[in-house]
Amino acid sequence: MIVLGIETSCDETAAAVVTDGRVVLADLVLSQDAEHRRFGGIVPEIAARAHLDHLDGLVARALATAGVSAAELDGIAATGGPGLIGGVIVGVMTAKAVAAVHGRPFIAVNHLEGHALTARLTDGVDFPYLLLLVSGGHTQLLVVEGVGRYRRLGTTLDDAAGEAFDKVAKMLDLGFPGGPAIERLAATGNASRFTLPRPMKGRPGCHFSFSGLKTAVRQALAEAPPSDPRVAADLAAAFQAAVSDVIEDRTRNAIAAFRALHPHGSALVIAGGVAANRPMRGRLSRLAAATGMTLFAPPPKLCTDNAAMIAWAGIERLKLGLVDTLDFAPRPRWPLDPSAPPAGLKP
């Protein structure tokens, strides 16, 4: 089985070809960082236009790299949401066109499900497992019980972790995207110089909150000596340490909740762009070892937005007969666990 995947939910234009033997034949990602950097963040209209300009050519290159024609595909999968709706529409309409012309199944993939199933592509992880999804738009802890079967244990009450990284990077004049910039600078800083809060740490449950931490960084920056060249590095280190502390604490609670549901479950999976952060991976690796879990962390390239994960999720759904009609409507919001209560209530 060979599936073409298309990802356009945010600011990465991506196309990939993947087989059900877990072989990635092509995985192309066109970054839009240069287009958005001068604005200090993602501009939805610019992102949608860039997807429109480049996606057709990228799909053609992916097929050529994979050495297959569109007629040889078993299905075409595209991110159907959640995301910036303009970009999602571009990807969905392109996938529908390829599917219609070649008479192939169309699969609309939840972008979060793409992240959730990546470890099955890279490591063949069996269900059930505990997932920590940390990205620019989402921070969630979920029990993954099967394709389309997700139980949310916790989510962010305000900012996502990746959003907080980007906003703090902007405060420190580190540019965009913020996560990699903060990680590089933090490696040279003193994390103990500034005392920052750990929102939600020590509280019951698995919810997150990063807005107060972001505000504390702004206050610390305003009060720091303006002539001190070490301020940015030390604040970056302190911020990264605070986020890691919170994520470790919330994940520890989630492991207990996961084990209550699945006593023999032992897999902890991390996914999403922030999961590429090496210090955070180290913290979670030690937590997994201490709690009898096994940590699975896909390669950094497959943690950030990519089309290989969309193609793989398409394969998983296609195997179960979960295909979509060509009247599927792109979705700006699409929770993995629709039954979960709104954030702010007990999960």
221-265: pLDDT as tens digits:
999 998 999 999 999 999 999 999 999 999 999 999 999 999 999
Concatenated DSSP letters for 178-244?
Answer: HHHHHHHHHTTS-TTSS----TTTTSSSS-B--HHHHHHHHHHHHHS-TT-TTHHHHHHHHHHHHHH
Please say if the pLDDT value at position 345 is more than 50.
no
Of 29, 24, 8, nearest in space to 121 by CA: 24
Summarised one tens digit per residue, pLDDT across range 164-209 is 999 999 999 998 888 999 999 999 999 999 999 999 999 999 999 9
Structural tokens at position 33: 């960082």
Q: Would you say 32 and 46 are in contact if contact means Cβ atoms under 8 Å apart?
A: yes
Mind listing the domains of the chain with CATH numbers? Answer: 2-116+302-319 (3.30.420.40), 126-297 (3.30.420.40)
User: Which residues touch 335 (CB under 8 Å, ≥6 apart)?
Assistant: 82, 152
| Model pLDDT, residue 344 | 61
pTM above 0.85, yes or no: yes
What was the pLDDT predicted at 44?
83
pLDDT in tens, 87-132: 999 999 999 999 999 999 999 999 999 999 999 999 999 999 999 9
pLDDT in tens, 285-299: 999 999 999 999 999
What was the pLDDT predicted at 347? 35
Intra-chain end-to-end CA distance of the chain, in Å = 38
pLDDT in tens, 54-97: 999 999 999 999 999 999 999 999 999 999 999 999 999 999 99
Kindly report the average pLDDT of the chain as a whole number. Answer: 94
Q: What is the pLDDT of residues 264-287, one digit of tens each?
A: 999 999 999 899 899 999 999 999
Q: What is the pLDDT of residue 229?
A: 94
Query: What digits encode the pLDDT tens for the residues 152-172?
Result: 999 999 999 999 999 999 999
Q: Which residue has the higher pLDDT, 84 or 41?
A: 84
Residues 6+ apart with CB under 8 A from 214: 159, 164, 167, 168
Is the pLDDT assigned to residue 346 strictly greater than 60?
A: no
CA 11 to chain centre: 13
φ/ψ of 82, rounded to 5, equals -75, 165
Asked whether the predicted pLDDT for residue 42 surpasses 90, the reply is no
